[in-house]
Amino acid sequence: MPRKYTKEQIDEMLEASKGKMERVYQKGFVNFTGTTLHKKELYTEVVAEWLMRRTERLYQIPKITREASYRTKSHKAPVDIAKAQRGEDRIAKQMFNQKGLPLLGVVLDYQTPLKNKRSDPAGKIDLLAYDGFFLRILELKEPESPETMLRCVLEGYTYYRRVDVEKLLRDFGLPPDTKVRVSPLVFHNKIQHREMMQDRPHLKALMRKLDIEPFYVHKVRDAYLVTKE
Q: What distances in angstroms separate CA 61 from CA 24, 33, 220, one per listed residue?
A: 10, 26, 38
Mean pLDDT of 130-144: 97
Please give the Cα distance from 161 to 143 (Å, whole number).
26
Mean pLDDT of 136-164: 97
- Say if CB 207 and CB 153 are below 8 A apart: yes
Q: Are strands 179-187 and 215-220 parallel, antiparallel or unpaired?
A: parallel
pLDDT class of 86 with cuts at 50, 70, 90: confident
- Say if CB 6 and CB 38 are below 8 A apart: yes
Q: Quick one: pLDDT at residue 97?
A: 94
Please give the Cα distance from 124 to 148 (Å, whole number).
19
Give the DSSP H/E element, type plus range, for residue 169.
helix 165-171
Mean pLDDT of 82-88: 75
Q: What distances in angstroms separate CA 131 from CA 34, 80, 104, 195, one per listed residue?
A: 37, 25, 6, 27
Query: Rounded mean pLDDT of the chain?
Result: 94
Mean pLDDT of 62-83: 89
What are 227's strand-pairing partners?
216
Q: Rounded to two decimals, what is the model's pTM?
A: 0.95
